[in-house]
Amino acid sequence: MENLRHLVRSGAQIAVRVTPKASRNALVPTDDGLRAYVTVVPENGKANAAVTKLLAKSMGIPPSRLTLIRGAGARDKLFQID
């Protein structure tokens, strides 16, 4: 898993492009932000919860510090660290 502790700053915003129903959970850095692959289906917020948990784990912070501020129903999401 990618170590993203260097991104942890209060108020920082992180762009993530999500691919649900992937073969494995993974975070991959790209030029435009991060690419997240999650194994869950995109229904009832399951994929959003999985991405939040994956992102928080790779940053070494609790998931409660991450807020999804844009893209709840889209592939492109924007998270903010509280």
Q: How much is the average pLDDT of 7-32?
A: 92
Q: What amino acid is encoded at 35 in this protein?
A: R
pLDDT in tens, 33-68: 899 999 999 999 999 999 999 999 999 999 999 999
Tell me if 39 sits within 8 A of 47, measured CB to CB: no
Number of structural domains the chain divides into: 1
Instruction: State which residues form the domain around 60.
Output: 5-81
> What's the per-residue H, E or C state across 30-56?
ECCEEEEECCCCCCCCHHHHHHHHHHH
Q: What is the pTM of this model?
A: 0.91
Determine which helix (DSSP H) or strand (DSSP E) holds 59, and give its type and residue range.
helix 46-59
Quick check: 2 pLDDT over 80? no
Which CATH number do you get for residue 35? Answer: 3.30.1200.10
